[in-house]
Structure 1
Amino acid sequence: MKKTILMLLCAFTAFGQLPQRREFQEGNTTQLILFENSLPAKNYDLSTSDLQVKWHVLILDLLEQTTGYTPNVAARSLAYTNLAAYEAILPGYPNLQSLSGQLQGYKRPKEFEMDSSNFSAPLAMNAAMYRMVDKLFIAAPFVWMEKVMALKDSTESNLSRGKTPMTVMKSVNYGISVADMILKYSDSDGAKTEMFRSYDMNYRLPACESCFEINRVADLENTGPLHPSWDKNRTFLAENNSDFDIKPDFEFSKYKDSKFYASALEVYNTSKKVVPGSEEHLIANFWDDAATYTYTAVGHSVSILTQVLRNQPVSLEKSAQLYARLGIGLNDALICAWKGKYKYNLIRPIAYIKRYIDSQWEPVLLTPPFPEFPSGHSVQSAAMATILTETLGDSISFTDYSKYWVGAPRVFSSFWTAANETSISRLYGGIHFRPALDRGQDMGRIVGKNTMKLKFEK
């Protein structure tokens, strides 16, 4: 049954038939529609965070629709796009400083220093985000790139009202130039070609009792392991170029009196409660975030910020910092997670349970083609919660409409409430042992705290 559903989802995605978030113009009011759950009408003020909100609503759709957009590729593209958006507005905010010298390998040329005369920060940001999306989503279906161009053009037209031709030309050209500079910077991070080939068929996973093996039931494409070299990519922050010596809490063992067996048994026994209609089943599916028919786990984290800012707009200056910091943290979080995954190459629950507990067992979620430890969902969501809690506060409540086809929107009292649910969802889904969740969150906290060291203001 699960395989049938997955194949139908893939087929729907291929023909663009899955219901999508979409924005449309109705009179002078732009509305955001999420499947059956319609949010209240909203008048967008493009001089505020609304500008980035509108762009990210479309980017989230692109993450679903574009071939090759694994969680890793999504994190990278979101990070560079929002870095360009931030760097593009600097002439308009003398109190802000470039991240040049703070990020590994990034040096902003002096010719990009410019005064604020005849300059519009929103116009520059709009141009920069368009340029980044146009280049990073090169494999996106044409119909979606038409939407990208339409958003760029309509936003530029809106923002140009009352501006001199010199201001429009100077701001737009500046934004494009900044984006081109960031794209050149991105070329040297080791991941430039990863969106075109996510799997390395020449990579040979180690073979041993405790080693990860690809689950061919779930792996319909008969691929190799996903991004086995991603751990070698450049992190934005030098402090994040590490797995922080975070390792599994116990040695592998197949014996019933061992901690490893007990951990596997927890997954097995928990799965019996994860039945359709149960809270555990809803949570597992709400945070599934599989590539090709969702916008991935990191996209889900960015969606949370986007939904918060849609309801509680902030200044363009603040939103640029929020999106840039979050994108950088999520990118580094997945590189750190991949360092652990391919260092320990730990077996997944499905292989262990079938071999030592119940040969007929199947988890609720399909097992992805990369090693178990640590949980990437846990690492990135903990990084998200660390960053957003420290920047926005620990009592921001929000309703998450991200997975409208799973069930009712979920309400969270804080970013950590959402992150903790993200993490436990992987146990409910049957694809992670608990130590991968707990230690993964430890890793994400470190990445998040390191990312908070970035200085945006002079």
Structure 2
Amino acid sequence: MIKKTALVLLLSSSLIYAQQITPGNYQARNETELVEFEFVLPPKAYDFNTSDLLVKWHVIMFDLLEQSTGYTPNVAGRSLAYVNLAAYESMLPGHPEYQSLSGQIQEYKRPEDYDVGEEYFNDATAVNNAIFSMVDKMFATAPYVWMEKVWAFKDSVNGVLESQLDLVTYQKSKNYGLAIADLIYDYSKTDGGHQSYIRSYDMNYLLPACEACFEIHRQADVENTGPLHPQWINNRTFVAENNTDFGIKPKVTFSKYPESPFYKMANEVYEESKTVNPGNKKYVIANFWDDAAGFTYTAPGHSFALLTMVMRNRTISLAEATEIYARLGIAVNDAIICSWKGKYKHNLIRPVAYINRYIDSAWEPKLLTPPFPEFPSGHSVQSAAMAEVLTATVGDNQEITDYSKFWVGEPRKFNSFWEAADEVSISRLYGGIHYRDALDQGQDMGRLVGKNVLEHLKFRAD
């Protein structure tokens, strides 16, 4: 419930405009709605030949992530990565200062036929149609009413761009974007995660049985009978150097004895939970970064939302924006794979199971415990990878106002991507679903993933 006067930002196909509302006069609309508190963003006219095009497409995809069945964090991160890879590759003919990622990311070879040159080419038209085609393919379970928005936005942008171009340039660019989408989609089919939205839980996977081993918390996950994506560990990373868990393992050895370091680490979660109560800051933080599949953008989507909120206020060239979004997608996708390698390698018990067994049988965490092993924290890994990449490409000391969770409370404000990532990480302790070791070492893993993306991929031509 909105408890105070708020600002609803209504996103149309061409601009954002503001309307002051109160709880009494608020009504839902057909347009995507975002709610802000205590500050006003000025109206903005969108220029689809710039980064604005990616901003608008991501706002649409955030809705799809919320509304589409099977879009777990793993599936969401993978989908956003491939969509943005296609966007980047589709703009290349118009920008010889950039180069393809062919031969740089694993198993991706771009045929020479795609090197069509700058003549009669418009990057925005190619990008618009490449993103549309990828979204149409990747979000197969999206409700029809939401896919209507996808088609309508694509058509509206095409209409604007077609009016600005000669027929040959428009048609060539449109066809090129669609061809790149087909190329990238075919590439995506071979990574191990194709159509993974169809079945999230593996009912045939046998969880290891031991005192220290993860077990599914049935009160939270009565809808499934297996763990989430246990085979994700075999998915192909984009960067070869990220096909690893980096040798990161729990620093605290399992023990059930009260004087042991592990017991004390679990007891920290237990005692911390007593300070997390409705209305206080820790409670708000825990829920703000919950990012559970089915009603949020998911954690990878939330990372993309941070970038999108910055890009909404900082218009840059379309080419530069596709590079930044592509880097982020690659980093987040690889981060999830790395974290899953750690999770199903160590199969560490979750706090709820340990605390119920050895400390307090009636205790419940503030957040639902997800159905996969504890170490490392996936939120910590992917948000650290996000912060590493975006700090290098967008900048440090970047003011961010995150209004993506208006139903939780006021928007959260950060002075850098790392400040946001640190809050993402500690939120999992507040929520009662991770030990501190999983957070700290999860961030270490995410940093390494991000560094590899920055060091091993060359987007700019020599």
Q: TM-score range by the shorter chain?
A: over 0.9
Q: Size of the alignment, in residue pairs?
A: 438
* Amino acid in the other structure paired with 2:370: P
Question: Deviation digits for residues 131-176 of structure 1, max 9, x if unmatched?
Answer: 0000000110000000000010001111112211111110000000
| Separation (CA, whole Å) in 2 of partners of 1:125 and 1:22 | 24
Structure 2 unmatched ranges of 5 or more: 1-7, 18-31
Of 215, 222, 225, the residue aligned with 2:224 is 222
- The aligned counterpart of 2:163 is 161
- The aligned counterpart of 2:420 is 418
Of 436, 451, 458, the residue aligned with 2:438 is 436
Question: Deviation digits for residues 189-233 of structure 1, max 9, x if unmatched?
Answer: 011031111111000100100000000000130331000000100
* Deviation of the 1:334 alpha carbon: 0.1
Query: Equivalent residue of 2:59, what SS?
Result: helix
- The aligned counterpart of 2:76 is 74
- The aligned counterpart of 1:10 is none
Query: Equivalent residue of 1:399, what SS?
Result: strand
- The aligned counterpart of 1:338 is 340
| Separation (CA, whole Å) in 2 of partners of 1:35 and 1:49 | 22
CA contact (8 A) 1:402 1:409 kept: yes
- The aligned counterpart of 1:35 is 35
| Separation (CA, whole Å) in 1 of partners of 2:71 and 2:218 | 21
Compute the TM-score of the two structures, normalised by the length of structure 1: 0.94
* Amino acid in the other structure paired with 1:23: L
* Amino acid in the other structure paired with 2:301: G
Query: Equivalent residue of 1:411, what SS?
Result: strand
Query: Equivalent residue of 2:45, what SS?
Result: coil
Q: 1:22 to 1:131 in 2, by over 3 A?
A: farther
| Separation (CA, whole Å) in 2 of partners of 1:277 and 1:183 | 45
* Deviation of the 1:41 alpha carbon: 1.4
- The aligned counterpart of 2:364 is 362
Query: Equivalent residue of 1:362, what SS?
Result: coil
* Amino acid in the other structure paired with 1:316: L
- The aligned counterpart of 2:306 is 304
Structure 1 unmatched ranges of 5 or more: 1-19
| Separation (CA, whole Å) in 2 of partners of 1:443 and 1:204 | 27
| Separation (CA, whole Å) in 2 of partners of 1:441 and 1:36 | 29
CA contact (8 A) 1:21 1:61 kept: no
CA contact (8 A) 2:74 2:336 kept: yes
- The aligned counterpart of 1:141 is 143
Aligned ranges for residues 167-182 of structure 1 at < 5 Å? 167-182=169-184
* Deviation of the 1:36 alpha carbon: 5.6
Q: Does 1:122 align with 2:124?
A: yes
CA contact (8 A) 1:21 1:57 kept: no
Aligned ranges for residues 54-453 of structure 1 at < 5 Å? 54-453=56-455
Question: Deviation digits for residues 14-69 of structure 1, max 9, x if unmatched?
Answer: xxxxxx986225xx644474136574311001111000000000001100000000
Question: Deviation digits for residues 52-98 of structure 1, max 9, x if unmatched?
Answer: 00000000110000000000000100000000000000000011100
CA contact (8 A) 1:383 1:444 kept: yes
Query: Equivalent residue of 2:12, what SS?
Result: strand
| Separation (CA, whole Å) in 2 of partners of 1:29 and 1:392 | 24
* Amino acid in the other structure paired with 1:356: Y
Query: Equivalent residue of 1:341, what SS?
Result: helix
Question: Deviation digits for residues 394-447 of structure 1, max 9, x if unmatched?
Answer: 111110011110000011010000000000000000000000000000000000
- The aligned counterpart of 1:457 is 460
CA contact (8 A) 1:412 1:418 kept: yes
| Separation (CA, whole Å) in 1 of partners of 2:131 and 2:146 | 15
- The aligned counterpart of 2:11 is 23
- The aligned counterpart of 1:15 is none
* Deviation of the 1:317 alpha carbon: 1.1
| Separation (CA, whole Å) in 2 of partners of 1:120 and 1:390 | 28
* Amino acid in the other structure paired with 1:401: Y
| Separation (CA, whole Å) in 1 of partners of 2:310 and 2:216 | 38
| Separation (CA, whole Å) in 2 of partners of 1:260 and 1:330 | 30
Query: Equivalent residue of 2:230, what SS?
Result: coil
| Separation (CA, whole Å) in 1 of partners of 2:351 and 2:178 | 47
* Amino acid in the other structure paired with 1:34: L
Compute the TM-score of the two structures, normalised by the length of structure 2: 0.93
Q: Which moved more, 1:186-195 or 1:104-113?
A: 186-195
- Root-mean-square deviation (CA), in Å? 1.4
CA contact (8 A) 1:131 1:176 kept: yes
CA contact (8 A) 1:45 1:51 kept: yes
| Separation (CA, whole Å) in 1 of partners of 2:424 and 2:386 | 11
| Separation (CA, whole Å) in 2 of partners of 1:449 and 1:402 | 27
Query: Equivalent residue of 2:11, what SS?
Result: strand
CA contact (8 A) 2:10 2:16 kept: no
Question: Deviation digits for residues 339-396 of structure 1, max 9, x if unmatched?
Answer: 0000000000000000000001011000000000000000000000000001122111
- The aligned counterpart of 1:12 is none
CA contact (8 A) 2:9 2:36 kept: no
Q: Which moved more, 1:32-41 or 1:374-383?
A: 32-41
Q: 1:268 to 1:21 in 2, by over 3 A?
A: farther
| Separation (CA, whole Å) in 1 of partners of 2:389 and 2:36 | 31
* Amino acid in the other structure paired with 1:200: D
